[in-house]
Structure 1
Amino acid sequence: MKKTIYALLAAGFVGLMASSAFAQSNPNPSAAAIASAKEILTDKHIQELYKEAVPSLVERSKNTLLQSNLNYQKDLNEVALKVAKDMAGREKEIGDQIAKIYASRFTEQELKELVAWYKSPLGKKVIEQEPQIFAAARGFMDQWAQTFSQQVIDKFRAEMKARGKAI
């Protein structure tokens, strides 16, 4: 889930940076603006971020129910298959909402320009390189947090030692 959030934020950030003029928020984007936003999201393969949302949430829900209903494991496994089938496709709601968010932040013209830009050689390169860039950034952030955390703990220990309290 954490990786998905990072990826969604990154995708939105890059979209903002690619636009030369950031539009004011439009709470009622046009159908054409939403269609352009969906095209951008398709070009950026954003659906890869949430394509497993339904099966993943069904599995997580089943496991939650299993914790307090172990005697129903067989039934819950069978029901999980049915629930996943019945709810298949609902992840599309995520993509639709992301498109509306994009369309509410950019004008129709800006979205058309973004569509063209993402289809350009540089836009395609951005799309191709983003996953590796953000994976490297996540790796750095994780490493930085671990190192920084140790420095914070060391600082706490030094301050507590100055107070005569070893921790």
Structure 2
Amino acid sequence: MFRLPLSPLRAVRSLSFAAVFAGLCLAAPASAQEDEEKTAAIRELVEITQVEAMADQMIGLFNEDILPMLLEANPDQSEKLRTIVREEVTATMNDMKPAVVALTASVWSRHFSTQEIRELTAFYKTPLGVKLLEKQPVIARESMQAGMQMSQQAAMTAMEHIKQRLTAESLSIPAPL
């Protein structure tokens, strides 16, 4: 029997992250009562910011997260595994889009007025806005990497200080530290 070397919790967490990200990126009318003008403004903002491409990137990131574990368990099935993961993740994300879209439009509507949405759209049409859209994925990735490195360094420094304090207080230091 094939056992997935990915814990169900991690798989759900990864897919949930992708769904939440997609939800933050996609927008459509939350209900029939939503202002049509605001809905149109949200749709234009979504189009100009290329959020569907971002959702596709999230699918790619999920694929990158799960594929190495599957390949480790099935090293001679690379192409088959790539196909299965790509098809299943894409299908799942596509099935979730309508509900995520409705939820997200509601979020956009609560946080931005129609005028603010128009102003954001106008900004993204400027040369600086276009540059921001192009650079945003790189900036986010570099910021995340730097933040992780800083967090690791802070954790190591804090652990060293904790060990010093425990020693100074004549307290036992557990082996894992």
Q: Normalized against structure 1, the TM-score is what?
A: 0.59
Q: Distance in 2 between matches of 1:134 and 1:146?
A: 18
1:144 matched residue in structure 2: 150
Q: Distance in 1 between matches of 2:129 and 2:147?
A: 25
Contact persistence 1:47–1:95 (CA under 8 A)? no
Distance 1:37 1:142, change over 3 A: same
For residue 146 of structure 2, what is the amino acid of its counterpart? F
For residue 129 of structure 2, what is the amino acid of its counterpart? G
- Count of aligned residue pairs for this structure pair: 127
> Deviations along 1:50-98, whole A, 9 cap, x unmatched?
3466xx7xxx9xxxxxxxxxxxxxxxxx9xx89x869844324323422
Please, which runs of 5 or more residues in structure 2 have no aligned partner? 1-13, 26-32, 67-83
For residue 42 of structure 1, what is the amino acid of its counterpart? E
Contact persistence 2:123–2:129 (CA under 8 A)? yes
Larger relative contact order (CA 8 Å, sep ≥ 6): 1
Q: Is structure 2 residue 51 aligned with structure 1 residue 46? A: yes
Q: Give 2:99's match in structure 1, choosing from 93, 96, 115.
A: 93
2:128 matched residue in structure 1: 122
Q: Give 2:36's match in structure 1, choosing from 31, 35, 55.
A: 31
For residue 96 of structure 2, what is the amino acid of its counterpart? R
1:65 matched residue in structure 2: none
Q: Distance in 2 between matches of 1:5 and 1:85?
A: 12
Distance 1:38 1:3, change over 3 A: same
Q: Distance in 1 between matches of 2:99 and 2:136?
A: 24
1:161 matched residue in structure 2: 167
Contact persistence 1:117–1:123 (CA under 8 A)? yes
Give secondary structure in 1 for the equivalent of 2:141. helix
> Deviations along 1:27-46, whole A, 9 cap, x unmatched?
x7512212212321222222
Contact persistence 2:19–2:93 (CA under 8 A)? no
Contact persistence 1:7–1:134 (CA under 8 A)? no
For residue 152 of structure 1, what is the amino acid of its counterpart? A
Q: Give 1:105's match in structure 2, choosing from 86, 93, 111.
A: 111
